[in-house]
Amino acid sequence: MSTGAWLETHDPGERVFLSIGDLVLESGEVLPDVVIAYQSWGKINATQDNVILINHALTGFPDVPGWWPSMVGPGLPFDTDKYLVVCPNVIGGCQGSTGPSSLAPDGKRWGSRFPAINIRDMVAAEVAFTNAMGIKKYKLAVGPSLGGMRALEWAIQHPDRVGAICTIGSSAVATGDQIGTASIQIRAIKTDPHFNNGDYYEQEKGPEEGMGIARRIAHLTYRTEAEMDIRFGRQLQGDDTGRYAVESYLDHQAEKLWKRFDANTYIALTEAMNSHDVGRDRGGVAAALSTIKIPVIAVGIDTDRLFPVRLQAEIAELAPVAEPMVTITSPFGHDGFLVEVESVGEVIRQALKLSK
């Protein structure tokens, strides 16, 4: 297998597909015939003011209950008895929306021809999706990590289309440390002998080893040193490989991602995150955040070494109507937003109350 992407020959499952037409990117390039895959839960009300937008993270996908357990459903933080909850797959993604593994107009997969995209392009696609859905305004836009970056852009660019935002383990600008770590992951994929400059879809084998290395590196940044030491220490796995237990764990994470993700998407979305800067062409981060006029809740995780809490504190301090930063205590680092669902859920309920 050359990719773990969802392809048009696969069972769509619960995905719904919506065409948004051509998308003009910030670069000036035009991405033609863009399709957005999404899932939704609940119903829109008569006044159409109960819609929530969930922006997924780097390796997330539209099936929110599949990656964010105990968050979507009747009586849960995203209460489907009260709200219509929508989660589109980001452009450049690999779970149904137009991305490198999609078919281009010539009938071949985009592969290396897929244009570079950034966070603002992703939001432009989400706005077009929103218009095509007939949604006038979201009650809340919420997202972790990459999703939080997009939520911030919604607040800056489209304050009339969203009542409040909640960013979780995210930032207003990519840091040197994040870019450095991410660039190594990208290089690992590109130097895999099966990468073929991104045109590997017709091959029997894709860049599995390279993406596996990238995932192993990334996963360590998602968790904490303490967890790795307490959970695994120097234990051997106890099989005939001679691996340490932590190696086996990382091997498993790499294998899982390979089966459901695409290497070109990993690169495209990672490069978009590296380019993230709300202050670009807006006079800097402080000036950009000062223009936000809707409620903001910035959530940090005390052990997050990828998005340290100072990055969320910056958002809370510089956005004029932001609430005080919320810090969640977790031993699980950046992935704490996936695990500490009770604490995160309480913040979501608070954000929904603040929505204008």
| Count of structural domains, the chain | 2
Please indicate, yes or no, whether residues 328 and 350 belong to a single structural domain of this protein: yes
CATH of residue 251's domain is: 1.10.1740.110
Q: Which two tokens stand for residue 156?
A: 């800056």
Question: What per-residue confidence (pLDDT) applies to 344?
Answer: 97
Q: Would you call 215 helix, strand, or coil by DSSP?
A: helix
Please indicate, yes or no, whether residues 50 and 150 belong to a single structural domain of this protein: yes
Question: What per-residue confidence (pLDDT) applies to 118?
Answer: 98
Would you say residue 11 lies in a domain? Answer: no
- Could you report the per-residue pLDDT of 280-304, keeping only the tens digit for each? 999 999 999 999 999 999 999 999 9
At 325, the pLDDT band (50, 70, 90 cuts) reads very high
Please indicate, yes or no, whether residues 165 and 312 belong to a single structural domain of this protein: yes
Question: Averaged over 336-348, what is the pLDDT?
Answer: 97
Please indicate, yes or no, whether residues 233 and 144 belong to a single structural domain of this protein: no
H/E stretch holding 35 = strand 30-41
Would you say residue 1 lies in a domain? Answer: no
Tell me what the pLDDT averaged over the chain comes to.
Answer: 97
CATH of residue 337's domain is: 3.40.50.1820
Please indicate, yes or no, whether residues 268 and 164 belong to a single structural domain of this protein: no
Short-list 71, 249, 239, 63, CA closest to 166:
71
Q: Beta strand 16-24 with 140-144: parallel, antiparallel or unpaired?
A: unpaired
Please indicate, yes or no, whether residues 25 and 148 belong to a single structural domain of this protein: yes
Please indicate, yes or no, whether residues 57 and 188 belong to a single structural domain of this protein: no
Would you say residue 7 lies in a domain? Answer: no
Please indicate, yes or no, whether residues 229 and 98 belong to a single structural domain of this protein: no
Short-list 173, 175, 146, 124, CA closest to 67:
146
Answer for the pair 38, 87: CB distance below 8 angstroms, yes or no.
Answer: yes
Would you say residue 43 lies in a domain? Answer: yes
Residue 304 is among the residues annotated as catalytic for this protein: yes
- Could you report the per-residue pLDDT of 190-246, keeping only the tens digit for each? 999 999 999 999 999 999 999 999 999 999 999 999 999 999 999 999 898 999 999
Please indicate, yes or no, whether residues 133 and 29 belong to a single structural domain of this protein: yes
Please indicate, yes or no, whether residues 261 and 300 belong to a single structural domain of this protein: no
The yes-or-no verdict on residue 171 having pLDDT over 90 is yes
Question: What per-residue confidence (pLDDT) applies to 115?
Answer: 98
> At what angle are helices 208-222 and 263-274 packed, to 10 degrees?
40
Among 272, 301, 322, which residue terminates a domain?
A: 272
Would you say residue 62 lies in a domain? Answer: yes
> What is the residue-wise DSSP string for 257-304?
HHTT--HHHHHHHHHHHHT-BTTTTTTSHHHHHHT--S-EEEEEETT-
Would you say residue 9 lies in a domain? Answer: no
Say how far apart CA 222 and CA 55 lie, in whole Å.
18
- Side-chain-facing half-sphere of 196: CA atoms under 13 Å: 13
pTM given for the model: 0.97
Among 272, 304, 323, which residue terminates a domain?
A: 272
Q: Which of 276, 334, 335, 355 is catalytic?
A: 334
H/E stretch holding 209 = helix 208-222
Q: Which of 304, 330, 335, 355 is catalytic?
A: 304
Say how far apart CA 314 and CA 300 lie, in whole Å.
11
Would you say residue 310 lies in a domain? Answer: yes
Please indicate, yes or no, whether residues 128 and 76 belong to a single structural domain of this protein: yes
Would you say residue 198 lies in a domain? Answer: yes
At 119, the pLDDT band (50, 70, 90 cuts) reads very high
Please indicate, yes or no, whether residues 60 and 78 belong to a single structural domain of this protein: yes
Q: Which two tokens stand for residue 339?
A: 């695990």
Residue 28 CB contacts under 8 Å (≥ 6 apart), including other chains = none
Q: Which of 145, 171, 330, 355 is catalytic?
A: 145
At 1, the pLDDT band (50, 70, 90 cuts) reads confident
Question: What per-residue confidence (pLDDT) applies to 128?
Answer: 98
Q: Would you call 82 helix, strand, or coil by DSSP?
A: coil
Name the residue range of residue 267's domain. Answer: 178-272
The yes-or-no verdict on residue 356 having pLDDT over 80 is no
Residue 145 is among the residues annotated as catalytic for this protein: yes
Short-list 139, 137, 80, 118, CA closest to 268:
118
Among 207, 242, 272, which residue terminates a domain?
A: 272
